[in-house]
Structure 1
Amino acid sequence: MPTTVELEQVLRGAELRVTRPRVAVLTAVHDHPHADTDTIIGAVRAGLGDVSHQAVYDVLRVLTAAGLLRRIQPAGSVARYEARVADNHHHVVCRGCGTIADVECAVGEIPCLTASDDHGFVIDEAEVVYWGLCPDCAADAASTAIA
């Protein structure tokens, strides 16, 4: 978990002004990987007090554009944010409860999937979302099927 001083250095390294809301949002995303905006707003308010929804949305947009956060939005889900941005990892999503976990890139270099036809694009990332049931939801489904 990065310290406040480290997060301030990250902001300066991205040529962004250091503000309390930016540090608070970075902290919240580090503390709550794959968090939705409401969770991030709650965490920021717990640390700073009254901060508007719009301020948090603006900070999320700026930090994502600067490459300090990654925005993911699996099908049927609200946008979520993570601070893990320096690699090309993927995600597994539970169809039951919506839990999201990181999945390391299985094979190869970035991107770990090679397009059969790149249509002239210079591809720098591949996004894979694995879907299934987390252990808790799978156990619930199994116990329901037995009953």
Structure 2
Amino acid sequence: MHAAAPIAPAERLRAAGLRVTATRLAVYAALGTHPHASADDVFDGIRAALPGTSLQSVYNALGDFVAAGLARRIEPAGRPGMFELRVEDNHHHVVCTVCGRVDDVDCVVGEAPCLHVPDAGGYDIRQAEVTFWGVCPACRAEGRDGLR
């Protein structure tokens, strides 16, 4: 048995009901290479290859991706919104309080929503978003613990 071939970005966009454009393909590729990127980060990463692209076009593409379920927006406190393509599961994030690095953390407890709410007030809980804060291995290795 062979593993299924990865789905090309253009096919993912079409399957989500989105028109395939150079900007959307570039934004999708940028998120694939740099998860947890802000819109500004994505724009900085693609503007050399697409000099006619505007920051607004990047915001529009990211918004379209989130609305279509292709991307997830996360907003750790005190940070700009960031985007990632990992949408197939309910996972959490850890943010370095020194350098700002963001990494994924698999579900803490079981399957989605990964946490159990004793009384959800009638809500049907489907997802939980948790952000852990700490010092990343690189900052710790450099002796940058953020306590000074």
Q: Is the TM value for this pair above 0.5?
A: yes
Deviations 1:43-63 (A, max 9, x none): 221322221111111111111
Aligned to 2:68: 66
Question: Equivalent residue for 1:12?
Answer: 14
CA distance, structure 2, for counterparts of residue 99 and residue 8 of structure 1: 29
- Please tell me whether the aligned partners of residues 74 and 82 of structure 2 are also in contact (alpha carbons under 8 angstroms): yes
Which of 35-44 and 6-15 deviates more?
35-44
Deviations 1:87-121 (CA, angstroms, capped at 9, x unpaired): 00111100001000111113212111011111111
> Is there any run of 5+ residues in structure 2 with no aligned partner, and where?
none
1:123, CA displacement in angstroms? 1.1
Corresponding residue pairs, total: 142
Match of 1:113 in 2: 115
Matching residue of 1:78 = 80
SS of equivalent to 2:103: strand
Q: Residue 52 of structure 1 aligns to which amino acid in structure 2?
A: S
Letter in 1 for 2:35: P
Counterparts in 2 of 1:1-147, with a 5 A limit?
6-139=8-141, 140-141=143-144
Higher helix share: 1
Would the aligned equivalents of 2:98 and 2:144 in 1 still touch at CA under 8 Å?
no
Following TM superposition, where does structure 1 have runs of at least 4 consecutive aligned residues deviating by more than 6 angstroms? none
Structure 1's unaligned 5+ residue stretches are: none
Distance 1:141 1:29 in 2: 28
DSSP-derived class of the 2:49 partner: helix
Instruction: Report the secondary structure of 1:102's partner residue.
Output: strand
Offset of residue 138 of structure 1 = 2.4
Q: Identity of counterpart residues, as a percentage?
A: 48
Quote the Cα distance in structure 2 between the aligned partners of 1:11 and 1:126: 26
CA distance in 2, matches of 1:87, 1:54: 29
| TM-score normalised per structure 2 | 0.88
Distance in 1 (alpha carbons) for counterparts of 2:42 and 2:92 = 21
Structure 1: distance between partners of 2:10 and 2:135: 38
Query: SS of the counterpart of 1:35?
Result: coil
C-alpha displacement of 1:137? 2.1
Q: Distance in 1 between matches of 2:8 and 2:109?
A: 32
Taking only aligned residues, the RMSD between alpha carbons, in angstroms, comes to 1.9
